[in-house]
Structure 1
Amino acid sequence: MLIILGGLPGVGKTSIARLAARELGAIHLRIDTIEQAIIDCGVVPSDDMGPVGYVVANRIATDNLRLGHLVIGDSVNPIELSRAAWRDSAKLAGKPFVQIELVCSDRDKHRHRIETRKCDIENLKMPDWQKVCDREYHPWQDADLVIDTALQSLDASSEILVGFVRERIASI
């Protein structure tokens, strides 16, 4: 199964994806890691990334789904086009998918997360609060689950995600 995870920067995607990947034994594909590696190699300038990182992640997801692995696609997924590409990856592999949007309804908490988080990817410049606010982002119309990370800890949010995925897998 492919877990398509998305939401604005700072809502907890990567923290929750890591916790869930450990619990589920899933492969964690993080767009930030892939895009920064591409930039560091000089393949694409940072201001002109376009869909390159997503295309790479989608192809790696399809390969791993075909091998029978559970895969978590961790990216902002700001528009329907990026979400559709993840769904297409699952369809190419003949595997099911779930779409999970993470939100943080508490604006002050979200801002605090953005302003205090530490980057763990070499050379990656994290967006500041203004860039997060200005980012194009279309809320998901067809999410299977929306988790508001302002309402509980990241551990509890991960437990919600893991429980949901296990129920979906059991129903297949």
Structure 2
Amino acid sequence: MIVLSGLPGTGKTTIARELVARVPCVYLRIDAVEHALKTASGSTEAAGPAGYVVAYALARSNLALGMSVVADCVNPLPVTREAWRAVATQTSSHLVEVEVVCSDVAEHRRRVEGRESDIAGFAPPSWDAVLQHDYEAWATARLVVDSAAVSATEASDLIWRRVRER
């Protein structure tokens, strides 16, 4: 299981698409899960932890079937990161945790402000929302990929290399 984490606009989805284009995997995108939950409930409120809980269950089910999983999520808190680790442990799966960052603030802002959603009816967050996002620093080991320094193809190479090392 590969879990791509990081603030919106850092390049997680672009990298995830590169990963699953190379090796067929189950692709779990939290934005899609949360938007589907909001649409189904008719709510305009944030999905809260429900989107992650659904994604953990889907990952667990697919890993148990022997499928590889790529999760694309902000994964902002130690509790969400630990939950992905628990899924990997429960299914005896290898886990590669990746934090995607964009060290070039101007580029990060350009990406966020220029994004168009590929999920019908989903509005990506504004730059102000990204800046105000609750995102705690990591205290555990992970692969850090700076999307301002490497392309999505290069990031995918780094990640698949880490997967093979495990």
Question: Per the shorter chain, which TM-score range?
Answer: over 0.9
For 1:145, give the aligned amino acid: L
1:81 matched to which residue of 2? Answer: 79
- When the two structures are aligned, how many residues end up with a matched partner? 166
Is 1:30 the equivalent of 2:56? no
Distance across 1 between alignment mates of 2:25 and 2:137: 26
1:64 matched to which residue of 2? Answer: 62
Q: Is the 8 A contact 1:35 1:49 kept in 2?
A: yes
Instruction: Give unmatched runs, 5+ long, in structure 1.
Output: none
Bigger drift between 52-61 and 87-96 goes to: 87-96
Following superposition, the deviation at residue 142 of structure 1 comes to 1.4
2:7 matched to which residue of 1? Answer: 8
Match of 1:158 among 130, 151, 156: 156
Distance across 1 between alignment mates of 2:148 and 2:76: 20
SS of the aligned residue for 2:99 comes to strand
Q: Is the 8 A contact 2:96 2:162 kept in 1?
A: no
1:106 matched to which residue of 2? Answer: 104
2:145 matched to which residue of 1? Answer: 147
Distance across 1 between alignment mates of 2:6 and 2:60: 22
**4+ runs of 1 displaced by more than 4 Å?**
none
RMSD, aligned α-carbons: 1.3
1:40 matched to which residue of 2? Answer: 39
SS of the aligned residue for 1:100 comes to strand
TM-score normalised over the length of structure 2: 0.95
TM-score normalised over the length of structure 1: 0.92
SS of the aligned residue for 1:41 comes to helix
Q: Identity over aligned residues, as a percent?
A: 42
Following superposition, the deviation at residue 48 of structure 1 comes to 4.0
Distance across 1 between alignment mates of 2:141 and 2:74: 14
Q: Is the 8 A contact 1:19 1:155 kept in 2?
A: yes
- Deviations 1:111-166 (CA, angstroms, capped at 9, x unpaired): 01001122100111110101000111012221321001110222222222122212
1:132 matched to which residue of 2? Answer: 130
Distance across 1 between alignment mates of 2:57 and 2:148: 33
